[in-house]
Structure 1
């Protein structure tokens, strides 16, 4: 009977983790360049608590549910034309490098502007890193533009080229908050990357799919909670009857 409770609890923990992931996806439906995550779980068979070790009869192995991870969905979101010459949509496997107080981070948010200090920044305010460092403009420069190879130009000519990178294993990227990612593996400069100026990539979250999955997870959680309640009631009843005088 204890196995029933422990197995059910392991499933509830996995469902709770999945609900957290879904809620984060839904919260970022309108976040530029956001990449959704999914929750995966797997079966874990208890290696010692099994009736197979007993001589009389055979019992089933006890299987628990284990969180396997939350892989990134790297599919490209819908491209939206903005008409802003500083907005770019990146190829599907590349990332824009930005500077933060914690060091370099990576994002798919291609919505950019020039801040009061003349720096090219994302819509979240993070300075964009070029191949030669920060991309800056003077107050009198006009006709700002970004070409397909990531070169930033103005009325004063070329201002540098965006540093666009890719990773050998994008699944190793770790969320760093504010729609940013960190990585322990080296980034490779994507010299062949071709960006689309005047477009931004929207979130790849599909709200209808996420809400449907949220409802399904909620129902599964409630069903397991009901199972735990009935099992607990059965145990209490058994204890009461066994304690009654004969």
Structure 2
């Protein structure tokens, strides 16, 4: 009976974790360039506390283990908006920005120019080019961004937006603000990755699927909670009856 309670609690913990993942996905349905996550679990067979010498051998106890929240790197819908400073990333590459904590990576290409003429994100982080920050003079006109990231004005080429990829993108860590950090060094993006100027990549979260997952998790959590509650009541009844016999 005790094992059954532990198994139920492990299932509730896993379901609560999945609920957090779904809630975060739903909260970012409208976030530009957002990449959703899913929950991954694995069966864990208890390797100890068994006695196989009995006529009826102990059954193995199966728990639930949280195996992480893999990143969904599928392409989100790309919507043109006509803004010359906006870019959508096509492929598996990431944009590079400079933050107070160091270099970070994002798929959010909603750029703008700050008062100093630096190309920045909506949070004010400097977009990185091959040679560092990209600056556009106030007198420059005709700004355009090419699919390879080259930025040009009436004065010529002003820089090229840095696109990078990772050998293991699943190792990227969310840091809030639609940014990722990485322990491994990024690599220059290949020709299969490019920018689509005058457009933005929307979130790749599918609301209908997430709502279906949410209902399924809630239903399963309620079922497991009911089982755990009944087992707890049964244990209490057994203890009281044993006390009466004594």
TM-score of the pair, normalised by structure 1: 0.96
Q: CA deviation at 1:82?
A: 0.6
Q: Partner of 2:137: helix, strand, or coil?
A: coil
**1:147-162 superposed matches below 5 A:** 147-162=146-161
Partner in structure 2 of residue 14 of structure 1: 14
Summarize deviations over 1:36-83 as a string: whole Å, max 9, x none.
0000100111101234x2332123101100001100000000000110
Q: Name the CA distance, whole Å, in 2 between partners of 1:140 and 1:39.
A: 50
Q: Secondary structure at the match of 1:65?
A: strand
Residues 208-228 of structure 1, C-alpha deviations (whole Å, 9 max, x = no match): 111111111111111111111
SS state at 1:219 partner: helix
Q: 2:213 and 2:124 mapped to 1: Cα distance?
A: 33
RMSD: 1.2
5+ residue gaps, structure 1, are none
Report the counterpart of residue 45 of structure 2 in structure 1. 45
What's the TM-score once normalised by structure 2's chain length? Answer: 0.96
Q: Give 5+ residue unaligned stretches, structure 2.
A: none
Q: Is the 8 A contact 2:165 2:187 kept in 1?
A: yes
Contact 1:41–1:65 (8 Å) recurs in 2? yes
**Distance in 2 (alpha carbons) for counterparts of 1:139 and 1:238:** 81
Shift of 1:245: 4.2
In structure 1, the partner of 2:70 is: 71
Map of 1:195 onto structure 2: 195
Alpha-carbon distance, 1:191 to partner:
5.0
The answer to whether the 8 Å contact 1:130/1:163 transfers is: yes
Q: Is the 1:49–1:61 contact (alpha carbons within 8 Å) kept by the matching residues of 2?
A: no
Distance in 1 separating the partners of 2:187 and 2:225: 48
- Map residues 129-144 of structure 1 onto 2, 5 A cutoff: 129-144=128-143
Q: Is the 8 A contact 1:15 1:221 kept in 2?
A: yes
1:165–1:188: 8 Å Cα contact kept in structure 2? yes
Structure 2 residue aligned with 1:33: 33
Count, aligned residues: 245
d(CA) in 2 for partners of 1:25, 1:50: 41
SS at 2:200's partner residue?
A: strand
Question: Matches of 2:127 and 2:243 in 1, distance apart?
Answer: 72
1:183 aligned partner: 182
